Structure 1
Amino acid sequence: MMRLIIEYAYTRSVLVTEDNVGRLLPAADQFCVLGIVQACADFLEARLCLQNCISIWRFTDVYFCPELRCQASRFILQHFEEIGRASQEFLELTLAELCDIIERDNLNVKQEDVVFSSVVRWIAHKPHERKGYLSTVLPKIRLALMNPDYFLNVVKMNSLVKDSYADCKCIILNALRTMCNSRFKTLTSCHYYSPLSRPRLPYAILLAIGGWSGNTPTNVIESYDIQADTWVNVTQKEDNPRAYHGTVYLDGFVYCVGGYDAVEFFSEVCKFDPVTHTWHKVAPMHSRRCYVSVAVLHGCIYAMGGFDGYIRLNSAERYEPKTNQWSLIPPMHEQRSDANATTLHDKVYICGGFNGEHCLSTAEYYCPETNQWTEITPMSGRHSGLGVITYGEEVYVVGGFDGVSRLRSVEAYNPLTNTWRAMPDMIVARSNFGIEVLDDRLFVLGGFNGFTTTFYAECFDEKTNEWCSIQDMGIFRSALSCCVVPGLPNVSEYCTPRDSQKPPLSTYERELQF
């Protein structure tokens, strides 16, 4: 190790390997050779995985590597479900370390029963030593967020809880009381979160950007906090109003493509950095595209069809962020504005739309390998202003306008059989709405219902095969566009504040104020 340090002093380079990093970092730290310390930290960060993240996190308790500690901690929190279920390192955590992890707001779990199961697994590893810790660990779990049946039949009846019931009784009763208060509270009452029911921060947020509100385009950006079922207004002053645009997330940036501001049809493309909250223009498209369809495949953005102010387009182009250049790809078989697109199995699918005369039932896909468009089986009906999204290994087509009325219908395309099948209808008919998949559920937001724009939002869960309502957006709008942004280090800036104990008002409570 000393030889490597001396060689680094002369060459400013060092070879870090899996065999030497465990000894090289302590030696470099002892002699304050910060360049080697950083090289070792970078090496370990690049190799973070489910099997070593906890040991690397604990390593930074001894040696000062703040960025590595932050990344290891974030990795543990983001992958807690897998770590708690299978990691051997997890079983060796101390009580303090376990509590530090599971009490975090940004612990990434879809259901609190995952946390309880992981705690039970940790205690069972050394039962005689750890079963007395249950009353210390249990308050760190958001018990009141659990499904009531799971809480009563699994948690309350667990043998560890029963054996420690004298110590855990108050915790169990508080959880039941909080659960009942939140479940049966009146619509106009003020319900305050307790530590047992405070929602955790989501791993990913859904952004709803721009759209048509009232008689003009809007620049409003709202973020959906799925854990708290709330919308947060995150509009920036420099945001420009736009509608009928496309939005995608790629490599840390949110790209807004084309659109219309009631005066101009855009060829411009802007990207938003959700960490710094700043907008930047990138290379414009070859064509102006309002009512554009966009998708991401293999690190590139595809923009297809649309309306340039004169004609409906069948042209398509591809953007490469590394070169900041758009290049034309072969045109589609159909002129399509008001269509929508998604990607599945290395192909870009585009469905429906309007050709200037008729709403379309046709669909096709682009394969980058062959550089060709191929038509697929048409949909069962005509759809313009529809939603298209990949969900559960199928292409879902949702709602839209058939030339006569707004639609509630949903159908799913199986690329293996080249067939469509009917799915449960949405609760509300709509066209020109936002659509995305978040946490294994399909969300639709806003749109035009045939009479007015709406702020109504709902989601579909393929496990239950049902649609259900979620919290309404803050404003009425159609012609918006959405994307999901995962793993933000500053995700709390896009969520309901967890230190504010009072939750936002329900839709009914907001209506009572007017």
Structure 2
Amino acid sequence: MADCGGAGKMQFENDDHTSALLEEMKYLYDNNLLTDVTLRVEQLEFCCHRNMLAATSPYFKAMFTTRLTESKMDSINLYEVDAWSVKQVIEYAYTGKLEITKHNAQNLLAAASLFQISPIHSACAKFMETQLDAHNCIGIQMFAHVHSCEELRLKAMEYVEKNFYDVCHTEEFLSLTADRLAEIVASDELNVECEEVVFEAILRWVRHSEAERHKYLGDLLPNVRLCLLNMKYINDNIRQNQLVKRCPRCLRLLRNLEEFERNPDHYKGEHRFNISLRSGMIKPEHCLLFIGGVDQNRPSINCYNPLTRETFFMADFPEMENRSGYYSVEDPACVVTEDNLIFVAGGNYLYRDNWGETPSDEESIEEFEEEDVVRKDFYQYDNDHNMWVHRAPMLFPKSNFTLAYADQKIYCFGGLTVNQHPTEIIECYDIIKNRWNYVGMMPTTLVDLTSVTHNGKIYILGGRTGVGAHNVVMRYDPKKAEWTPLAGMPTPRFKFGACVVGDEIYVAGGQIYSHSSHTITREALKSVEIYNMEENQWRQGPELNEDMYNCGLALINSNLYACGTTEYQRSPFRIYRYNTVCRLDMVKNRWDQIESDLCDIHDFSCVAARLHTRKLSQVFRPEVDT
């Protein structure tokens, strides 16, 4: 590439120079040409170039550029590292490439740690995170601690905690030191449903080498949360245990427990009894989630428990946290699997320099279109860390579409792609392989449509094209890739909610285009319609309390909830939007409003999922929480 920026000179840049240089140096290395140092490891010798080693490794740079004895030596012996790993590190220095496997990852990481090569160190640690299982997580955690891989150490510890029942039955668990075992069983994050699992794990560890380990029982038993055990279990399984009977410290602990149980408010014994529940004993709460959307109030309420009426903040998408100014994701699609995995995809990513620069209430976002970017990003929610994790992006960017889950796969239907063009393309995401594939085309283009899944079949309902709403209902068989047309909805609609209740599909709210005036406008709906899948027939359901669009329907604890956006025009120049939540009284066949102004967010995706809300930030609402 050349730049003739001024008379008499030219700036030249060879874009291929870096790769060509590496290739030539690799040729010199392979043919032992111009090498100037030999590394000896175990029984092998490697003839290398000092400058390549120094440019790759701060360890070798310090060795060759300071007054160390090795700087003048032609042959250098290396210790505390294996020859095969050194060979791979040298290959990396000349190529920038490395093959990491479950067989070489630990040795490579140890070599990278010695030679201070951060890219290899990080790559090996990331790879080892993917290899964690019940049989190796304890060993990997100890290895990570030795080699200062803090992120890997934490990941391994989390794996131990989340899979404690399986881990405590492995050989690695039985090889733990007493201190390390005490650290594990003291954790609040153990995923156990009952405290008996913890006590029995400790006993199993002690009995594995009883002669050596019985002395540690007095240190370990206080980590069992005895107050979470029923008294019958304590009397039958702890007091009667021969190891406990032979341990004076354990007997004192049990006497203190009796005093604590008799009068906990006035207890003054030497032991402090932990009454906190373990992570696995705290059941996740079934909540309504408002994913994405546009709202000036950041952070926005986006998690709502309809049973307790508590509200919470879930994390923003990663890019949202890394940008200054006003940021929002309009009209993404979200789906929750039968295993409670939460995925979100696409949407229009809207950027504003400041809070005041937002679209007017009576218009949509047309005046800001040049700044709107439709995306193909795809995230999975990590409730343990309250963060969205990148997954493989969709094949095509899109917004205003729907996602449906069936048989470990997620299907993407309809929507708008670049330049607001409707698309009929169907994409499929394999959750296990983390990969998207093209699977076919829809019979027609649909935008702002809705989908539900029942018995492995996906039902596509409603939507719009241009300024026309659809009443279309189609059933898609993912295994056969076949479409079946069904009886259409009585009322065409888009941006509405749908939910399977038994063998029926409820649809509620949404919008329809009105041609009653000289202009075409969108009008919200309050109608509810019910589809019987066996009979292929529709009937009317009880109307919502208010007209509602951007609507979500969800079945939570056998109750059907509807949430969505309602609006009213206080003046000719301003429209007010707010979100309401209603619950269907199946006996009285009517909707009861439980929230009239939950939040102001709009153009979101609403789903229901089970979350550990203790991992989130709670929003205090005086009218509810006092």
Distance in 2 between residues matched to 1:171 and 1:410, nearest whole Å = 57
Q: Gaps (5+ residues) in structure 1?
A: 178-193, 460-468, 497-502
* Partner residue, 2:605: 481
Deviation, structure 1 residue 137: 1.0
Residue among 49, 54, 59 paired with 2:138: 54
Residue among 323, 331, 347 paired with 2:442: 331
Instruction: Report the secondary structure of 1:446's partner residue.
Output: strand
Distance in 1 between residues matched to 2:481 and 2:121, nearest whole Å = 47
Residue among 60, 63, 69 paired with 2:153: 69
Asked if the contact 2:410/2:428 (under 8 Å) is kept, the reply is yes
TM, length-normalised to structure 1: 0.57
Asked if the contact 1:267/1:284 (under 8 Å) is kept, the reply is no
* Partner residue, 1:499: none
Instruction: Report the secondary structure of 2:483's partner residue.
Output: strand
* Partner residue, 2:163: 79
TM alignment of 1:6-45, pairs within 5 A = 6=83, 8-9=85-86, 12=90, 24=107, 32=114, 44-45=128-129
Residue among 484, 487, 495 paired with 2:616: 495
Deviation, structure 1 residue 299: 8.1
* Partner residue, 2:72: none
* Partner residue, 1:246: 333
1:401 aligns with 2:488: no
Q: Gaps (5+ residues) in structure 2?
A: 1-40, 45-81, 92-97, 241-250, 267-273, 351-358, 513-524, 569-576, 585-592
Residue among 446, 452, 465 paired with 2:563: 446
Distance in 2 between residues matched to 1:176 and 1:378, nearest whole Å = 65
Residue among 502, 505, 508 paired with 2:623: 508
* Partner residue, 1:350: 460
Distance in 1 between residues matched to 2:535 and 2:43, nearest whole Å = 64
Deviation, structure 1 residue 58: 3.1
Larger fraction in strand: 2
Specify the structure having the higher radius of gyration (Cα): 2
Say what the alpha-carbon RMSD is for the aligned residues: 6.6
Asked if the contact 2:329/2:347 (under 8 Å) is kept, the reply is no
TM, length-normalised to structure 2: 0.49
* Partner residue, 1:122: 201
Distance in 2 between residues matched to 1:211 and 1:137, nearest whole Å = 45
Distance in 2 between residues matched to 1:259 and 1:44, nearest whole Å = 34
Sort the Cα spacing of 1:196 and 1:51 in 2 relative to 1 into closer, same or farther, 3 A.
same
- Cα displacement string for residues 13-71 of structure 1 (whole angstroms, at most 9, x for unaligned residues): 5988777888x579859x93566977875665443212221232234444544443233
1:137 aligns with 2:223: yes
Sort the Cα spacing of 1:327 and 1:507 in 2 relative to 1 into closer, same or farther, 3 A.
farther
Sort the Cα spacing of 1:427 and 1:509 in 2 relative to 1 into closer, same or farther, 3 A.
same
Distance in 2 between residues matched to 1:472 and 1:199, nearest whole Å = 34
Q: RCO greater where, 1 or 2, for CA within 8 Å and sep 6 or more?
A: 1
**Aligned residues: percent identity?**
16
Deviation, structure 1 residue 267: 7.4
Deviation, structure 1 residue 240: 3.8
Distance in 2 between residues matched to 1:473 and 1:121, nearest whole Å = 50
Asked if the contact 2:448/2:464 (under 8 Å) is kept, the reply is yes
- Cα displacement string for residues 458-507 of structure 1 (whole angstroms, at most 9, x for unaligned residues): 89xxxxxxxxx99999624554215799999xx99x723xxxxxx75466
Instruction: Report the secondary structure of 2:451's partner residue.
Output: strand
Equivalent AA in structure 2 for residue 168 of structure 1 = L
Distance in 1 between residues matched to 2:111 and 2:417, nearest whole Å = 61
* Partner residue, 1:462: none
Sort the Cα spacing of 1:199 and 1:319 in 2 relative to 1 into closer, same or farther, 3 A.
closer
Asked if the contact 1:352/1:363 (under 8 Å) is kept, the reply is no
Asked if the contact 2:327/2:349 (under 8 Å) is kept, the reply is no
Instruction: Report the secondary structure of 2:224's partner residue.
Output: helix
Sort the Cα spacing of 1:246 and 1:202 in 2 relative to 1 into closer, same or farther, 3 A.
same
* Partner residue, 2:551: 433
Sort the Cα spacing of 1:373 and 1:224 in 2 relative to 1 into closer, same or farther, 3 A.
same
Residue among 160, 179, 193 paired with 1:113: 193
Deviation, structure 1 residue 268: 1.6
Instruction: Report the secondary structure of 1:69's partner residue.
Output: helix
Distance in 2 between residues matched to 1:3 and 1:343, nearest whole Å = 62
Distance in 1 between residues matched to 2:232 and 2:595, nearest whole Å = 30
Deviation, structure 1 residue 119: 0.6
Distance in 2 between residues matched to 1:254 and 1:57, nearest whole Å = 32
1:263 aligns with 2:343: no
Deviation, structure 1 residue 245: 4.2
Sort the Cα spacing of 1:120 and 1:197 in 2 relative to 1 into closer, same or farther, 3 A.
closer
Residue among 160, 164, 185 paired with 2:238: 160
How many residue pairs end up in the alignment?
443
Distance in 1 between residues matched to 2:104 and 2:396, nearest whole Å = 50
Distance in 1 between residues matched to 2:409 and 2:84, nearest whole Å = 40
1:293 aligns with 2:417: no
- Cα displacement string for residues 57-87 of structure 1 (whole angstroms, at most 9, x for unaligned residues): 2344445444432332232233335435x54
Instruction: Report the secondary structure of 2:114's partner residue.
Output: coil
